[in-house]
């Protein structure tokens, strides 16, 4: 049997995720701590957790596993995933583990693992091996177990974020901030004390019962609370986060949701103002707006496969200052190439101040220049056959064919990307056009009809 077939079912391509306790329980959490410390041969780790009801017990067992392997642990308690990233690189630790299921259902939990310099540990960089070792590992503790230190790292983390933006010329804005009862509330409140204007909190208290629903702003049904409060308060901008706040979602002053694609372009423009001529990494799903903005700002756009491990690796190899995915993951060289859900809105605040305009004005021209379908998902029994059928239908007319991630075809006035998910049994479609929303919608419907037959 191949080695990696023995890993637990909750070990996925990029992280650990599964139902509790059926797929992930405290016994396995202990083994994961042991296996991680031994695999990395590390002596110092940070452990954080989200507010899910099962996270405290799972984190405690991870910590026990790490210390029984002889490692010292810094326990930072309730936090966002990026606070584990920050602590790992800022303190020069050997690794970090965040216990979180982000936006997954109530009965799920999981973990995100990083090694030195907050480099991701994914399936092809050690996660599978850790999974195998967790099943078949020596449970005997070392004679001298490691120590546990508890510390609140919120303030040094906030100080680091503020060092990456210029707050001196920020305009006072009224901002609705919907933490979704996840972990974003305390970080937003801490940042608000250093910013002009007014932060209007919504569901700011971390609550693992999620009384207002699982924090997942990608679901259209979860957006109304933020949009309605933006309109009611006459706010300049609305923000919403997932449970571990590594993704940030934007609403303009009219309460309209802004697709993550257009935010990538905004952030690229903002960062190139600070680092002119630099490289920007973007994913292949929707590209024209990003390429246009990056080149207009004097930067160099570089397309790369979707997925945080792939983006971070490419950013390091290219010395890119920023990487963005339309799924609302944004990566920054100044944040050890890690993704952050707090830096994006600080940078957009700075951009709005510099340009002295509204958020809708900032994105309207881009939405008109490159109308996009947004990501559309379909569950299919034979996705490879469907992708091949669509390729044959359009490839003859294509000006360009790209297989960086799935199938991308450039048809001149419009293009599309069709790819299989790395984490779910679904196929994902994105369509965009050059200044022609009617054409974009027509072609989207055309391809969907082929997917649905």
pLDDT at residue number 260: 96
pLDDT at residue number 218: 87
Mean pLDDT over residues 102-115, rounded? Answer: 96
Mean pLDDT over residues 153-175, rounded? Answer: 96
Nearest to 17 by CA among 105, 114, 120: 105
- Structure tokens given for 23: 């797929």
Mean pLDDT over residues 93-121, rounded? Answer: 97
Query: Cis omega (within 30 of 0) on the bond before 21?
Result: yes
pLDDT over 50 at 3, yes or no? no
Which DSSP string do the residues of 186-232 spell out, in sequence order? HHHHHHHTTSSEEEEEES-S--TT-TT----TTSGGGSHHHHHHHHH
Give dist(CA 124, CA 122) in Å, integer.
6
Single residue among 258, 289, 322 that ends a domain in this structure = 258
pLDDT over 50 at 215, yes or no? yes
Q: For residue 136, is it within any domain?
A: yes
Nearest to 270 by CA among 321, 308, 194, 214: 321
Specify the number of domains making up the chain: 4
Mean pLDDT over residues 386-395, rounded? Answer: 96
Q: For residue 363, is it within any domain?
A: no
3-class DSSP state of 434:
coil
CATH number of the domain within which 432 lies: 3.30.310.50
Q: Are residues 18 and 137 in the same domain?
A: yes
Query: For the ranges 2-11, 17-26, 438-447, which has the lowest average pLDDT?
Result: 2-11
CA separation, residue 175 to residues 170, 255, 260 (Å): 13, 11, 18
Give dist(CA 115, CA 388) in Å, integer.
39
Mean pLDDT over residues 11-38, rounded? Answer: 97
Single residue among 306, 330, 346 that ends a domain in this structure = 346
228-287 pLDDT per residue, tens: 999 999 999 999 999 999 999 999 999 999 999 999 999 999 999 999 999 999 999 999
Q: Are residues 248 and 276 in the same domain?
A: no
Q: Are residues 333 and 390 in the same domain?
A: no
What's the pLDDT band for 5 if we cut at 50, 70, 90?
low
Q: How many CB atoms lie within 10 A of CB 18?
A: 22
Distance from the Cα of residue 193 to its chain's centroid = 25
Where b means 16+ CB within 10 Å and e means fewer, 195-228 reads: beeebbbbbbebbbebeeebbbbbeeebbebbbe
102 is catalytic: yes
Q: Are residues 131 and 94 in the same domain?
A: yes
- Structure tokens given for 267: 């952030």
Q: Are residues 145 and 120 in the same domain?
A: yes
Q: For residue 239, is it within any domain?
A: yes
Nearest to 106 by CA among 216, 3, 226: 216
Q: How many CB atoms lie within 10 A of CB 332?
A: 23
- Structure tokens given for 181: 């009862």
The residues, ordered by sequence, that sit 6+ positions from 260 with a Cβ below 8 Å of its Cβ are 249, 325, 326, 327, 328
Q: Are residues 177 and 294 in the same domain?
A: no
| Alpha-helix runs per DSSP H in 94-183 | 127-135, 154-163
Q: Are residues 132 and 193 in the same domain?
A: no
**% of the chain residues with pLDDT over 70:** 98
Q: Are residues 323 and 444 in the same domain?
A: no
Give the residue, 452 or 175, on which the prediction is more confident: 175
pLDDT over 60 at 1, yes or no? no
Q: For residue 159, is it within any domain?
A: no
Which residues form the domain of 211? 172-258
Q: For residue 370, is it within any domain?
A: no
Dihedral over Cα of 228, 229, 232, 233: its sign = negative
Q: How many CB atoms lie within 10 A of CB 302?
A: 17
For residues 325, 329, 331 and 335, what is the CA-based torsion angle, rounded to 10 degrees? 180
pLDDT at residue number 22: 98
What's the pLDDT band for 6 if we cut at 50, 70, 90?
confident
Q: Are residues 394 and 446 in the same domain?
A: yes
**% of the chain residues with pLDDT over 90:** 92
Q: Are residues 298 and 211 in the same domain?
A: no
pLDDT at residue number 77: 98
Q: For residue 105, is it within any domain?
A: yes
Q: Are residues 212 and 192 in the same domain?
A: yes
Single residue among 226, 258, 290 that ends a domain in this structure = 258
Q: For residue 365, is it within any domain?
A: no
Q: For residue 162, is it within any domain?
A: no
pLDDT over 80 at 4, yes or no? no
The residues, ordered by sequence, that sit 6+ positions from 245 with a Cβ below 8 Å of its Cβ are 80, 81, 82, 179, 182, 183, 184, 187, 341, 342
340-355 pLDDT per residue, tens: 999 999 999 999 999 9
State the catalytic residue, choosing from 102, 122, 278, 353.
102
First and final C-alpha spacing in the chain: 38
**Average pLDDT value for the chain:** 96
- Residue 87 near residue 60 (C-beta atoms within 8 A): no
Mean pLDDT over residues 201-207, rounded? Answer: 98
pLDDT over 50 at 38, yes or no? yes
CATH number of the domain within which 317 lies: 3.40.120.10
DSSP state of 319: T
Q: Are residues 284 and 243 in the same domain?
A: no
- Residue 244 near residue 102 (C-beta atoms within 8 A): yes
């Amino acid at each position: 049997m191949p080695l990696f077939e023995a890993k637990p079912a909750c070990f996925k391509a990029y992280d650990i995720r599964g139902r509790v306790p059926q797929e992930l329980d405290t016994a396995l959490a202990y083994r994961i701590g042991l296996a991680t410390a031994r695999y990395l041969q590390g002596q110092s780790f940070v452990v954080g957790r989200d507010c899910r009801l099962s996270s405290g017990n799972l984190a405690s067992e991870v910590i026990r596993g790490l210390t029984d392997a002889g490692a010292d642990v810094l326990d930072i308690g309730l936090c966002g995933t990026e606070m584990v990233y920050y602590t790992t690189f800022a303190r020069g630790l050997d690794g970090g583990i965040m216990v979180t299921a982000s936006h997954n259902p109530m009965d799920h939990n999981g973990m995100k693992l990083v090694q030195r310099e907050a480099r991701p540990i994914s399936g092809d960089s050690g996660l599978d091996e850790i999974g195998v070792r967790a099943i078949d590992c020596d449970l005997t503790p070392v004679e001298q177990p490691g120590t546990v230190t508890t510390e609140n790292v919120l303030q040094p983390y906030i100080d680091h974020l503020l060092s990456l933006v210029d707050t001196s010329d920020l305009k006072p804005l009224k901002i609705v901030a919907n933490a979704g009862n996840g972990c974003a509330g305390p970080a937003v409140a801490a940042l608000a004390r250093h910013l002009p204007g007014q932060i209007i909190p919504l569901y700011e208290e971390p609550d693992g019962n999620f009384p207002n629903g699982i924090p997942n702003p990608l679901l259209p049904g979860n957006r109304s609370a933020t949009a309605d409060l933006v309109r009611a308060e006459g706010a300049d901008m609305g923000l919403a986060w997932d449970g571990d706040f590594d993704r940030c979602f934007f609403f303009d002053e009219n309460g309209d949701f802004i697709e993550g694609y257009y935010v990538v372009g905004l952030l690229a423009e903002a960062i190139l103002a600070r680092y002119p001529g630099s490289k920007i990494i973007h994913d292949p799903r929707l590209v024209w707006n990003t390429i246009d903005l990056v080149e207009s700002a004097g930067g160099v756009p570089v397309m790369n496969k979707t997925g945080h491990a792939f983006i971070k690796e490419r950013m390091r190899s290219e010395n890119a200052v920023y990487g963005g995915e339309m799924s609302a993951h944004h990566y920054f060289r100044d944040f050890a190439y890690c993704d952050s859900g707090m830096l994006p809105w600080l940078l957009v605040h700075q951009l709005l101040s510099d340009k002295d305009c509204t958020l809708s004005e900032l994105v309207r021209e881009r939405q008109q220049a490159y109308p996009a379908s947004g990501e559309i998902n379909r569950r299919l029994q034979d996705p490879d056959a469907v992708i091949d059928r669509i390729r044959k239908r359009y490839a003859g007319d294509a000006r360009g064919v790209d297989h960086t991630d799935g199938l991308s075809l450039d048809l001149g006035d419009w293009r599309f990307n069709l790819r299989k998910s790395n984490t779910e049994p679904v196929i994902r479609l994105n369509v965009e056009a050059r200044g022609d929303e009617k054409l974009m919608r027509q072609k989207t419907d055309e391809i969907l009809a082929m997917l649905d037959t």
